[in-house]
Amino acid sequence: MTSPAPTAATAGAPLPAVAARDITKRYGATTALLDAGITIAQGETHALVGRNGAGKSTLVSILTGLQRADSGEVRFAGEPAPALSERDAWRRHVACVYQKSTIIPTLTVAENLYLNRQGGGLINWRSLRRRASDLLDEYGVDVDPARVAGDLTVEQRQLVEIARALSFGARFIILDEPTAQLDAAAIERLFDRMRQLRDGGVTFMFISHHLQEVYEVCQTVTVFRDARHVLTAPVADLPHDELVGAMTGDAGALLSSGASRASVSSEAPTVLAVDDLRLAGFYEGVDLSVRAGEMVGLIGSGSSGKVALAETIAGLRKADGGTVTVAGSRPKPGSVPSALAAGLGYLPQDRHREGLVPLLSVAENATLPIAGKLGPAGVIAPARRRAAAQRMIEAYDIKTSGPDQPVNALSGGNAQKVVLARALSNDPKALVMVSPTAGVDVRSKESLLGAVASAASGGTGVLVVSDELDDLRSCDRVLVMFHGRVVREVSRGWADADLIAAVEGVNAPVEGAQVQ
């Protein structure tokens, strides 16, 4: 399937849709790619996998003409790639959903979809909105095109980006971790769409840390490790373990992190209690409690209100009624500082928007909440900060050139690790995490979840809000939310199928379904 490019273009033997050869790219001291390459045959869906910082997104920016490689060449169907300045030529060859959002928050959805191709001459806004709404309908995205894109949820923005990439009509489409923020139904819709397009002859390059997705939609997989190409093979010939082995460079089986934690004594104090919390349109009458040292999971579909609930606990939203108690005190509703002061740690869903200060260094970002402890009277001793950050970099396996690297130069998954390291740095009494492992590679996921589990063993009460079953395995119990209510509670040792059924509302009591 990954036959080398024939020397002469003949009708019988199609040239690969894209071939990148001997690509090297350095950022200062960091080598992001070293003589790496990829060859993607016409019409196949080709997976690119590798650990955080392996160089995947860097290759994407080179294949889409956003950056120039230091050396190496890119060919599309045998032709050399256009010059970097010819953006239109690039866009005819390749469309892309980047890992970092390329939605412009101040413009409407319609304008984002048709950015820089609104049509010549005077823009007709009405017809632009109509075209946008047709496009969104076509991909089953339920978003009003007249809304300002900054008001969309993470998932909606992601769907808008995907619809936009698919709408260019390019025959080669790159998707860089498109599924990290989507729930299963949205992922299924995306895959259906991809299969349809593939039947129509469209070529895909697909990047994901969810390896089962690779097995589901891809025919060929290429593995990068530490900036180099490791292997390319048909998916069908590569068992899961070997794939993970190729990514991590060792064949050891994955551990099940934290699953063996001792269970919590019933005398442990309650560190997080939610009592009859209501927020119209999102959730209603929610009760839950987390004891010190306990890990509680919260799962539910995109419309279940689980993220809104987490945001309310963290003070990002203000509930219509009910109370939140953190370690015995009641933080002021709708106030983040008050929640933090009460001893709450929070890991937001959207790390780009709420999680990190992009231009500050890794060290500064990671130590923001503990800045007060790094020196006397609010003075921050740089050496102590560096040392604290260095410990975090090692503990969480963050791939960076050093504590002084600005966080916006980190790969997506590594940025996520910084956010998590920060949330745990303050020894919070209660910790609320939303999708803690989104965009994190298989091996780092283990170490992150291990870190969370050991924080719990140290007496932190943890609430894990996630769709990923793996995030929830080490939880003492898992609550299922459905249409704004907690409908089910299962304790450790649940069966996957059982939990999935509950999330889908199959065998759950559904009387709370009409929450508006």
Partner 1 sequence: MTGSQTVAKPPAVVPPAPGARRLQLARFRDLALVPAIILLVIVGAIIDPVFLTQANITNVLQQQTELSLLVLAEAIILIAGKFDLSLESTIGLAPALAVALVIPAASNGLGTEVPVALAIPLCLLTGLAIGAFNGLLILRFKLSAFIVTLGMLIVLRGLQIGITGGQNLFDIPQSVLYLGNAVWLGLPASIWICGGLFAVGILALGFFRHGRSVYAIGGNVDAARAAGIRTDRVVWIVLMIGGLLAALAGLLMTGRLGSVASAQGDGMIFTVFAAAVIGGISLDGGKGTLFGALCGVLVLGLINNILTLGGVSAQWIQAIYGGIILVALILARVTSGKAQD
Ligand X SMILES: Nc1ncnc2c1ncn2[C@@H]1O[C@H](COP(=O)(O)OP(=O)(O)OP(=O)(O)O)[C@@H](O)[C@H]1O
Among 4, 28, 80, 120, binds partner 1 (CB under 8 A): 120
Contact map string, positions 89 to 128, toward Mg ion, x by CB under 5 A: ----------x-----------------------------
Please list, in sequence order, all residues whose beta carbon lies within 8 angstroms of the beta carbon of residue 502, skipping any fewer than 6 positions away.
480, 482, 487, 488, 490, 508
Find the binder of ligand X among 2, 99, 156, 181 (CB under 6 A): 99
Which residue number places its CB atom closest to ligand X? 413
> Does the protein bind ligand X through residue 455 (CB under 6 A)?
no
Pick the closer one to partner 1 by CB: 302 or 333.
Answer: 302
The answer to whether 179 contacts Mg ion (rule: CB under 5 A) is: no
Span of 109-117, 260-268, 284-292, 381-389 interacting with partner 1 by CB under 8 A: 109-117
* Min dist. Cβ of residue 411 to Mg ion (A): 5
In the region spanning residues 278 to 307, those forming contacts with partner 1, defined by CB under 8 A, are: 281-282, 299, 301-304
Q: Which of left, alpha, beta for 287 (phi over 0: left; psi -120 to 50: alpha)?
A: beta
- Separation CA 305–CA 483 (nearest Å): 7
State which residue, 39 or 57, has the beta carbon closest to ligand X.
57
Window of 14-22, 123-131, 335-343, 410-418 that interacts with ligand X by CB under 6 A? 410-418
Give least dist CB 279 to partner 1, A.
Answer: 10
309 binds partner 1 (CB under 8 A): no
* C-alpha–C-alpha distance, residues 272 and 336, integer Å: 15
> What whole-number distance in Å separates Cα of residue 332 and Cα of residue 314?
10
Rounded Cα distance between 177 and 466, Å, is 17
Matching residue, tokens 């047709």: 134
- Coil, helix or strand for 113? helix
Indicate the residue type of 70: D
Q: Which of 468, 477, 489, 512 binds partner 1 (CB under 8 A)?
A: 468
Q: Which does 291 bind (CB under 5 to 8 A by kind): Mg ion, partner 1, ligand X, none?
A: none
Q: Contact 135/111 with Cβ under 8 angstroms?
A: no
Going by C-alpha positions, the residue among 262, 253, 297 that lies closest to residue 473 is 297
Residue 286, class by beta-carbon neighbours within 10 Å (0-12 exposed, 13-18 middle, 19+ buried)?
buried
From 75, 87, 193, 228, residue interacting with partner 1 (rule: CB under 8 A): 87
Please tell me whether residue 54 binds ligand X under the rule CB under 6 A.
yes
CB-nearer residue toward ligand X: 54 or 388: 54
DSSP 337: H
Which range binds partner 1 by CB under 8 A, 144-152, 217-225, 229-237, 373-381?
Answer: 144-152
Residues near 179 by Cβ (< 8 Å), separated by ≥ 6? 187, 190, 208, 210, 213
77-95 core/surface letters (b: 16 or more CB in 10 A; e: else): beeebbeeeeeeebbbbbb
Task: Sketch the per residue contact string, 436 through 455, with partner 1: x for CB under 8 A, - otherwise.
Answer: -x----x--x----------
Asked if 187 interacts with partner 1 (CB under 8 A), we say: yes
Query: By CB under 5 A, how many residues form the interface with Mg ion?
Result: 5
Find out whether 418 and 447 touch, Cβ atoms under 8 Å. no
Question: What residues line the site for Mg ion (CB under 5 A)?
Answer: 56-57, 99, 411-412
Contact residues for ligand X (CB under 6 A)? 27, 30, 32, 50, 52-58, 99, 399-400, 409-414, 441
